[in-house]
Amino acid sequence: MPLVVRIALFVVVIGGSLVFAGLNFLTLASECFKPWMFAVGIGVLVCGIPLLFIDYGNQSPGAIDNASGVGLVLHLAELLIQQPAILEHLHLAVLITSAEELGLMGAQAYLQQHRPALKSHAERAGLYILNFDGIGVEGKLYLAGGNSAASLAGILQRSAEELSLPVGRFRLPGALFDHIPFAEAGCDALTLVAIGTSTGYIHTSQDTPGRLQLAGFQRTGQLALRAIEKFAGQALLHSPDPQEISHPC
């Protein structure tokens, strides 16, 4: 099911259910609300039926969601390995998880296995987790999760301003991103996601390599590199005291 359709159905079902509950309460005061209550209830049921089948099969090649994120991460690794000045001051790790669509199982499993090591690293030197999702389209970049006052979100926003890149906040509730388990564990973690016209092909058979757009990779990669350079610059200025780290896992 196309992602746009799925999101629309979820919004209608959740919002309609709340309206149905409110109208049901109002019928206690007046019978005139009953026809509206039944109409909303039927609409919610009709929109909810397709959601019962969203986990049947996988017909999407997944070029945008999320081979584009994997490709960007691998290319960033190629670029950063040629930057000894950055690697001298930062410990960078690449993590490619699986099973995001199945309740973030890959990220959850990694966190369960490595929580002590992540917590130790956070306490010693700070830990920041930047996830990429669906970035292979020409569209506006959004930050999903994270606190605007936190280190990672703040540095990304300042980096975007320096690059004259418009970056918004992704506030749609219920969306799954691989940063979520780490954020819930107390890490400073968020996701960069791009949304454009081609995003509508996600979760369909048309999410093919031919739909990928170079501008999405360029914008996201430039922003990530600028943020990494800023972190490296901070490391040059001072070594953080473990007691100052506000986002341990």
Q: Are residues 42 and 123 in the same domain?
A: no
pLDDT (tens, 9 = 90+) of the chain, 249 residues, equals 777 788 788 889 999 999 999 998 888 888 888 889 999 999 999 988 888 877 666 788 999 998 999 999 999 999 999 988 888 888 889 999 988 888 899 999 999 999 998 888 888 778 899 999 999 999 999 999 877 657 899 999 999 999 999 999 988 777 889 999 999 888 899 999 999 999 989 888 899 999 999 999 999 999 999 999 998 887 644 444 433 333 333
pTM for this entry = 0.79
Does 147 share its domain with 83? Answer: yes
Give a yes or no: residue 249 inside a domain. no
* Amino acid letter for position 51: L
Residue 160 belongs to a domain = yes
Question: Does residue 38 belong to any structural domain of this protein?
Answer: yes
Same domain flag for 107 and 162 = yes
188: in domain: yes
**Number of folded domains in the chain?**
2
Same domain? For 75 and 48 the reply is: no
Write out pLDDT tens, residues 199-247.
989 888 899 999 999 999 999 999 999 999 998 887 644 444 433 333 3
Residues 67 and 95 in one domain: yes
110/48 same-domain check? no
Nearest-angstrom CA–CA distance, 57 and 53: 9
**Do 48 and 77 fall into the same domain?**
no
Instruction: Please indicate, yes or no, if residue 16 is contained in any of the structural domains.
Output: yes
Token duo for residue 110: 């990694």
CATH number at residue 88: 3.40.630.10
| 3-state SS, residue 198 | helix
Residues 118 and 16 placed together within one structural domain of the fold: no
Q: Which of 53, 71, 91 is the last residue of a domain?
A: 53
Say whether both 194 and 85 belong to one domain: yes
User: Would residue 71 count as lying in a domain?
Assistant: yes
Instruction: Tell me if 213 sits within 8 A of 137, measured CB to CB.
Output: yes
Residue range(s) defining the domain that contains residue 19:
3-53
Asked whether residue 58 is assigned to any structural domain, the reply reads: no
Judgement on whether residues 112 and 40 belong to the same structural domain of the protein = no
Length of the chain in terms of residues written: 249
Q: Please, what sign has the CA dihedral across residues 181, 107, 145, 8?
A: negative
- Please report where in the chains the tokens 């369909």 appear, as a residue: 204
DSSP annotation of 88 reads T
Q: Are residues 18 and 120 in the same domain?
A: no
Which residue is listed with tokens 């970049």?
A: 141
Q: Same domain, yes or no, for 166 and 238?
A: yes
